[in-house]
Structure 1
Amino acid sequence: MEACVDLVAADEWLNLSEAAGILGVHPSTVRLWADKGEIPAHRTAGGHRRFRRAEIETWASARREARQPVGHVIVQNALGRTRLQMAEGRLRDQAWYARLDEARRLEFRESGRRLLGALMRYLGDDEAALAEAAALGHEYQRLGRSAGLSLGETVRLFQFFADFLYDSVLDVYQASGLRAAREWAQMHRRVTAFTNTVLIGLVDAQPAPPPGVR
């Protein structure tokens, strides 16, 4: 969709050739994208096509990101969120985190890395990764029990991490603007299926109480 050029600094506007230079494509390709409404474009009062530099740079960045396997982008986003939470001290505010010694924290981090790797494969249509998700649920339960966490605390630990994945799906969807909503809905369903499998595996691995104990 093309809009009329408003009054802004002249160096913020690009002509067809300048926009093509930033994008690394032929000007005719940029013209085609603009005609199809695939790239932000504007018109001067005289009818000439112009492009806002900031919009072109943002569009180019999103296009490069969209070329990456989407599972990789989501996982990297989740890792960034985890590091931010640790840097801001929010992780240490969690009661269950305070009960973990450094050795247990390292074990959970390693399990988290394996979980992200399995998720990336699952988002890449490797259905076998779903079986690994169930096994990782068992691993989370074992680690939580060995650390003296209750089942509820271990579930909260996993959900704290899973929230990063859900937020990452939303972040990447909003940032790209280049993928069909149906594709992203399917991606969200797969992330949900994966995390649900881990959670069910975690609960299923909980030892049954001794006979006579409720």
Structure 2
Amino acid sequence: MTARSVTEPSWLTVSRACQMLGVDASTLRLWTDAGRIRVFRTPGGHRRYREEDLTVFLRSQQQKPPGRLADVIGHRGARLIPGTSRRRIREQQWYADLDPKAADEMRLTCRTLMDALSTYLSGGRGQRAALAAGEEAGRALGLQVAALRLSPAEATRTFLFFKGSITQPVFSRLPLPSERRVRSIRHIDLFLDRVLVQMMAVYEQTG
């Protein structure tokens, strides 16, 4: 690809691609590393995306047949948590104590975590990268929780509350037989348990 080609209207920068997909840069990077979206590089090493590729990707997300957990979560993972659960999270005392900047950082970390979970549940060769992204988000949460000066019990309880906010809607919204629904929950448990281990490891090191 030449330097001239990246200036054509069909080529998008990272920020423009994020706007088109409605996600942040970390999620776009996760999807790219997992092979879900093609990326090209300029001679200077900057990432560029074809608008046509993103259009096809968005269309494929809309046309997927229902029935898989990743489809219920959607291509923006945070959709899995219903509004009532999000409100309950905001009502927690530890959340009320957050300053606006810390709250924004935690929301971004949780969004990245949910996007990684969605990619992990999609299967395929992107699972390893998604799990690594989830563990990285767990380490970021460990630093953020440590800054709140929560006790280990409070930190664990906070994460389990978040975990329950994810798993409970799956039972009510996933159109699968009971045995497959349970298997899906196990996949979520495996992923989030790895995240929790990383979160608490960083929390203990910081404390």
Give the TM interval when normalised to the shorter protein.
0.5 to 0.7
Whether the 8 Å CA contact 2:134–2:191 is kept in 1: the answer is yes
Whether the 8 Å CA contact 1:81–1:164 is kept in 2: the answer is yes
TM-score using structure 1 length: 0.56
TM-score using structure 2 length: 0.57
Distance apart, 1:197 and its partner CA:
0.8
Distance apart, 1:81 and its partner CA:
4.1
Whether the 8 Å CA contact 2:141–2:199 is kept in 1: the answer is yes
Distance apart, 1:153 and its partner CA:
2.8
Report which of the two structures shows the higher radius of gyration computed on alpha carbons. Answer: 1
SS of the residue 1:142 aligns to: helix
Paired residue for 1:172?
173
Distance 1:153 1:72, change over 3 A: farther
Moved more, 67-76 or 189-198: 67-76
SS of the residue 1:136 aligns to: helix
Q: AA paired with 1:70?
A: L
Distance 1:193 1:107, change over 3 A: same
Distance 1:94 1:183 in 2: 33
Q: How does 1:35-114 map to 2 (within 5 A)?
A: 67=66, 69-74=68-73, 79=79, 81-87=81-87, 90-114=88-112
| Structure 1: gaps of 5 or more residues | 1-63
Distance apart, 1:71 and its partner CA:
1.4
Whether the 8 Å CA contact 1:78–1:164 is kept in 2: the answer is no
Residue 183 in 1 paired to residue 184 in 2?
A: no
SS of the residue 1:67 aligns to: coil
User: 4+ residue runs of structure 1 moved beyond 6 angstroms?
Assistant: none
Paired residue for 1:24?
none
Paired residue for 1:206?
203
Distance 1:93 1:169, change over 3 A: same
Distance 2:112 2:206 in 1: 30
Paired residue for 1:117?
115
Distance apart, 1:145 and its partner CA:
1.5
Distance 1:191 1:85, change over 3 A: closer
Whether the 8 Å CA contact 1:119–1:194 is kept in 2: the answer is yes
Distance 2:64 2:77 in 1: 12
Distance 1:122 1:92 in 2: 27
Paired residue for 2:134?
133
Name the Cα RMSD after superposition. Answer: 2.9
Distance 1:124 1:154 in 2: 29
SS of the residue 2:127 aligns to: coil
SS of the residue 2:117 aligns to: helix
